[in-house]
Chains A and B, each alone.
Chain A
Amino acid sequence: MRTRLPFLLSAMALSMTQLALAQDGCQTLPKTVEAGSAFSIQCPGSGKVALYIVGLGQVLRRDVELGGATFFAAGSLYEAGHYLAFLSGASSTETGSFDVVPATKPANLSFLAKPSRLPVGLHNGITGAVYVFDAYRNLISAPTPVSFELSNPSGTVQKRIVATRDGAAWTAMDSTAQQGTDRFLARVDEISSARVIGQVPGDPCELKMSARQSGQAIQLVTDPVRDCNGNAVPDGTIVTFTETYSGNLSTVDVPLKHGIAEVQMAGHNGAIISVASGVVLGNQIRWEK
């Protein structure tokens, strides 16, 4: 790269000064070449010269016999962009320019799906963005239809077709009411890319506990904790039990296990016991022995 840079700069400077000669040199210089495709250049005259093709991503050099065609095999020029071609001989230098454009057939998708985990029931909570590339990782800027498909285990499918603009297409979709692992698929022709979206339960809803005597203490147990859509709140979620008695307080943070939270507390006579999780309050119990 270090050795190429001065060469590139000098080549570009040279091409600027010789631009007037550009269109008269190689008659068959194509205006555009599809990335990776084969092409040829024919230059009139006689003698041996060096043909340089210089772009930002690639530089090619061929020794050519003037008057004949110079062939470039498929895959020899594959980086999309603007290229300069110039002949460097003993007596003169002639230049021309052409564009290498991305192939029309998509070969790769870069699919960004966010977030990978979100609560159920969020409008436009899931976003997907797709960048369409050809086989040589050139961004295909021509409008290309992209199909987005979000499916959850219950069989619900949300589908959108969006055309790319400047190589990118994006969409937003809703998370459904049911928890589970959704499959988010982006497809262009036969090329597809999939992401996994975890839809997790929301805040607990109607948090309810019951109490029973257990020796000298009381055993507090919640009902199975669910969100407002009926999804079981995951294990590990913290439930806080609070016992208030005679101006004193006892609290304990308990993680849900097997869907319920369970704890033993002192259970003072006349105590008020409450339950909460995060910002959600549950029921209260007044404990009388």
Chain B
Amino acid sequence: MNNGRLLAAILTAATLALVLIGTVWPVPSAAAYAGAKNMLVTSSTAEAAVGNLGDEIRAQAWGKAYAGLANKAQFTEPEFVHDLTGYYPSLLTYTTLDKFEVRPLHASADEAEIELKLHWATVVGSSTSIRDVHVIRNGDRWEPEWPITKEPVVPPQVIPVNYLRWDVIYSGNGDDWGAQNVEAPHVRIVDMHPVERADGVVILGELLNEDVVPAYVSVAATLLSKNQTTIVTEGSFDKISHLLLPKQVTPFLIKFPSLSLSDIGSIRMTPMSALVAASADPVIEIENEQLHPAPGASLTGQLINQSGQIVNVAHVLGTFYNHAGQVVWVADEYVDTALLPQVPVQFEIHIPEDLARNVSSQRTVIATYSSGGSQ
């Protein structure tokens, strides 16, 4: 009993002591999040100044971040915020900064160039953007100049849209047995290859909508052992363009981590399709597609929205072929800015270094999502 009281007294005393220490000498980040004082460290170096800016962006302390900029006379605080989170609803609108990296590029006594790599946590995974920040010395402090990208201006114009859309009426519950229903779209897998990678088996392929109606598609693969028992079934998830218009082709990629091709006897592919209401717009042009060899192998290009409708999220899927025309890899990227009419937006899809030398051609498709739209 006495021991219990002694332990309770010790714990109480320890807790009070820790609370006292934390209040009198708080950890800088805790103080910053509590809004007590400025972030982490004083901006006595260029790197520290950019680091502070990164911390303020992560804390969404837009006012503090804007106030610390050297070039704030060139733009307003809302413009600064929109430059980071998007002028129109996009992938970055509902995101937070997960972490950032600061890398000095060049420095002199009074100015420096610092690379600020921002890792955003979005609903579709991590999205990285890089800003080269010019930092200038102002007395004993360093102040960053934010490389603002101003809101793209779309010239006033009328874009005629010959709106094409499919709607579907399904059979009702009260219909007789044997009554007709609308036929599901006919889709076909036109290519499929299993590939062994360091982290498991990957199944790559392409799916064609050979019908005259739009299809919502997905692909599942079941791996069977050599004695034809099921090992595992997995779907393509978002490594596919789910909406296929008539005669449209999408790549797909299905991952099976921790498996080896030697474990597999056969593979059963199951393409699934459903008839859905859909729109044929918007039309997106992919311009200046370029394959860049290793190191840093990638596919770059620009997306140009040829329609009048704003595209909030664009998903770019690249299919990479070898000299024989076989699919060797499928990769994708979500574009984190909205696509405005006729405004080019860059994309970059990374290709695994070991596969890059086998790639001789590619094909890119875009899946788009518009708020309030059906596509």
By a beta-carbon cutoff of 8 Å, the part of chain A in contact with chain B is 110-113, 115-117, 131, 195-196, 200-201, 203-204, 233-239, 247-255, 257-258, 263-266, 277-279
Q: Assuming the A-B contacts A238-B246, A257-B162, A258-B162, are A112 and B178 also in contact, with contact meaning beta carbons closer than 8 angstroms in the complex?
A: yes
Contacts of B289 in A (CB 8 A): 248-251
Query: Known contacts A117-B213, A238-B245, A239-B247; can you find 5 more A-B pairs with CB under 8 A?
Result: A200-B211, A200-B212, A234-B212, A237-B247, A277-B247
Chain B: residues with Cβ within 8 Å of the partner, total of: 39
Distance in angstroms from A136 CB to nearest chain B CB is 16
Contacts of B365 in A (CB 8 A): 253
In the complex, the chain B residue whose C-beta lies closest to that of A277 is: B247
Give the one of B281, B284, B287, B365 with max A CB within 10 A: B287
- How many angstroms from the CA of A255 to the CA of B164 in the assembled complex? 9
B162 near A252 with CB under 8 A, answer no
Give the one of B247, B281, B287, B365 with max A CB within 10 A: B247
Complex interface residues of chain B between 339 and 375 (CB less than 8 A to chain A)? 362-366
Contacts of A200 in B (CB 8 A): 211-212
Contacts of A251 in B (CB 8 A): 285-286, 289, 363-364
Distance in angstroms from A258 CB to nearest chain B CB is 7
Contact of B178 among A110, A201, A235, A277 (CB under 8 A): A110
B210 near A235 with CB under 8 A, answer no
> Does residue B237 face the partner (Cβ distance < 8 Å to A)?
no
Main secondary structure of the interface of A (DSSP, over half): strand
By a beta-carbon cutoff of 8 Å, the part of chain B in contact with chain A is 162, 164, 166, 176-178, 180-183, 190, 208, 210-214, 245-249, 280-281, 283-290, 301, 306, 362-366
A263 near B180 with CB under 8 A, answer no
In the complex, the chain B residue whose C-beta lies closest to that of A280 is: B247
A117 near B245 with CB under 8 A, answer no
Q: Which 5 A-B pairs have the closest CB atoms?
A: A278-B247, A255-B280, A110-B178, A252-B285, A249-B289
Distance in angstroms from B76 CB to nearest chain A CB is 35
Distance in angstroms from A167 CB to nearest chain B CB is 13
B283 near A250 with CB under 8 A, answer no
A250 near B286 with CB under 8 A, answer yes
B245 near A236 with CB under 8 A, answer yes
Distance in angstroms from B169 CB to nearest chain A CB is 12
Contacts of A203 in B (CB 8 A): 210, 247
Give the one of A116, A249, A263 with max B CB within 10 A: A249
B245 near A237 with CB under 8 A, answer yes
A236 near B249 with CB under 8 A, answer no
- How many angstroms from the CA of A186 to the CA of B169 in the assembled complex? 24
- How many angstroms from the CA of A237 to the CA of B214 in the assembled complex? 9
Contacts of A279 in B (CB 8 A): 190, 208
Q: Assuming the A-B contacts A251-B286, A251-B364, A253-B365, are A236 and B166 also in contact, with contact meaning beta carbons closer than 8 angstroms in the complex?
A: yes
- How many angstroms from the CA of A235 to the CA of B178 in the assembled complex? 31
A266 near B212 with CB under 8 A, answer no
In the complex, the chain B residue whose C-beta lies closest to that of A243 is: B287
In the complex, the chain B residue whose C-beta lies closest to that of A116 is: B183
B212 near A237 with CB under 8 A, answer yes
Contacts of A266 in B (CB 8 A): 287
Contact of A247 among B180, B181, B211, B290 (CB under 8 A): B290
A252 near B247 with CB under 8 A, answer no
Contacts of A263 in B (CB 8 A): 283, 285, 306
Distance in angstroms from B319 CB to nearest chain A CB is 12
Distance in angstroms from B109 CB to nearest chain A CB is 43
Q: Assuming the A-B contacts A238-B246, A250-B286, are A201 and B212 also in contact, with contact meaning beta carbons closer than 8 angstroms in the complex?
A: yes
A sample of 27 inter-chain contacts (CB < 8 A) reads: A117-B211, A131-B178, A195-B180, A203-B210, A233-B212, A234-B246, A236-B246, A237-B212, A237-B247, A248-B288, A248-B290, A249-B289, A249-B290, A249-B301, A250-B289, A251-B289, A251-B363, A252-B283, A253-B245, A255-B245, A255-B280, A263-B306, A265-B285, A266-B287, A278-B248, A278-B249, A279-B208
B283 near A110 with CB under 8 A, answer no
In the complex, the chain A residue whose C-beta lies closest to that of B247 is: A278
In the complex, the chain B residue whose C-beta lies closest to that of A109 is: B178
- How many angstroms from the CA of A233 to the CA of B301 in the assembled complex? 31
- How many angstroms from the CA of A115 to the CA of B186 in the assembled complex? 11
A238 near B248 with CB under 8 A, answer yes
- How many angstroms from the CA of A113 to the CA of B180 in the assembled complex? 7
Distance in angstroms from A147 CB to nearest chain B CB is 17
Give the one of B178, B249, B286, B306 with max A CB within 10 A: B178
B280 near A252 with CB under 8 A, answer no
Distance in angstroms from A222 CB to nearest chain B CB is 13
- How many angstroms from the CA of A235 to the CA of B164 in the assembled complex? 8
- How many angstroms from the CA of A110 to the CA of B179 in the assembled complex? 8
Contacts of A254 in B (CB 8 A): 283
B211 near A238 with CB under 8 A, answer no
Contacts of B363 in A (CB 8 A): 251
- How many angstroms from the CA of A204 to the CA of B212 in the assembled complex? 11
B182 near A253 with CB under 8 A, answer no
- How many angstroms from the CA of A254 to the CA of B162 in the assembled complex? 12
Q: Assuming the A-B contacts A255-B280, A263-B306, are A250 and B246 also in contact, with contact meaning beta carbons closer than 8 angstroms in the complex?
A: no
- How many angstroms from the CA of A238 to the CA of B245 in the assembled complex? 6
In the complex, the chain B residue whose C-beta lies closest to that of A255 is: B280
- How many angstroms from the CA of A251 to the CA of B178 in the assembled complex? 45
- How many angstroms from the CA of A113 to the CA of B178 in the assembled complex? 8
